[in-house]
């Protein structure tokens, strides 16, 4: 544990939770993608565009996980003081935490963008959607690209110059106020949720028109519903 900052029980708890969840979902996502590729190769010898996009999402997600661990640990096993009040941490640890968070926000947006686009292409390929539904998903796809670009831009240039985000010793640097930045984050999160729900709800009508058993329709709808959650 850290010797240059006070150790707090609640800080230990949250570091362990954050590290544990990031590794758990890192493993689950990687295994799920590997199984997807295996199933795709079983059905067809070619790798499809939606598979490639999902692979990009997983690769960037690894960067997201690396950002979490950079915040948590300079050498994987030692912690940077996550959960400890900032004014009680030495500056070099604060720099590592802020740098990790800066990386994390970009990787999160890019990974989510690839993920959403992959799902859109997958639904269009598999379900045989009507022209109207296809166009609706195309519009959502364009919104996903715009959302991804906007999140990358505002999280990159939240401070001027950019390195001032993690290195507060740079002369003449400034950042947006915390309240404004938090509002931007909430808006980005709400829009991401709205896009997810749109992607998964738009095809539901087509699913119920498919010539399959009612139980199968309910199963597919349930899967889409879980995705919306």
Q: Where are the domains of the chain?
A: 9-228
| 192 vs 174: CA distance, rounded Å | 28
Over residues 88-99, mean pLDDT: 78
What pLDDT band is residue 74 in, cutting at 50, 70 and 90? Answer: very low
* pTM given for the model: 0.77
Asked if pLDDT for residue 110 goes beyond 90, the answer is: yes
Crossing angle between the packed helical segments 91-127 and 49-72, to the nearest 10 degrees: 160
| 200 vs 212: CA distance, rounded Å | 19
- Per residue in 144-184, pLDDT (tens digit) is 999 999 999 999 999 999 999 988 888 889 998 888 888 98
Over residues 209-218, mean pLDDT: 76
pLDDT at 3: 57
Task: Give 58's Cβ-side CA count (13 Å radius).
Answer: 20
Backbone angles phi, psi at 184, to 5 degrees: -60, -40
Query: How many residues are there in the chain?
Result: 229
Over residues 102-114, mean pLDDT: 89
Please answer whether residues 81 and 11 qualify as being in contact, where contact means their C-beta atoms are separated by less than 8 angstroms: yes
Q: What is the DSSP string of 91-106?
A: HHHHHHHHHHHHHHHH
Asked if pLDDT for residue 52 goes beyond 60, the answer is: yes
3-class secondary-structure state, position 77: coil
């Amino acid at each position: 544990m850290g010797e240059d900052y006070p150790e707090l029980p609640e800080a230990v708890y949250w570091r362990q939770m954050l590290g544990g969840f990031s590794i758990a979902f890192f493993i689950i996502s990687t295994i799920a993608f590997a199984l997807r590729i295996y199933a795709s190769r079983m059905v067809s010898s070619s790798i499809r565009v939606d598979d490639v996009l999902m692979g990009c999402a997983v690769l960037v997600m690894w960067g997201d996980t690396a950002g979490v661990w950079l915040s948590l640990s300079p050498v994987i096993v030692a912690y940077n003081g996550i959960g400890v009040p900032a004014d009680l941490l030495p500056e070099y640890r604060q720099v590592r935490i802020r740098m990790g968070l800066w990386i994390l926000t970009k990787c999160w947006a890019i990974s989510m963008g690839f993920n959403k686009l992959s799902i859109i292409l997958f639904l269009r390929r598999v379900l045989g959607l009507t022209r109207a539904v296809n166009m609706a998903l195309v519009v959502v796809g364009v919104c996903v690209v715009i959302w991804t670009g906007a999140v990358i831009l505002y999280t990159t240039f939240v401070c001027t110059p950019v390195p001032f985000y993690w290195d507060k010793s740079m002369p003449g640097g400034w950042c947006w106020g915390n309240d404004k930045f938090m509002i931007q984050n909430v808006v980005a999160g709400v829009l991401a949720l709205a896009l997810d729900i749109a992607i998964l709800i738009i095809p539901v009508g087509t699913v119920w028109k498919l010539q399959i058993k009612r139980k199968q329709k309910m199963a597919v709808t349930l899967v889409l519903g879980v995705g919306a959650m």
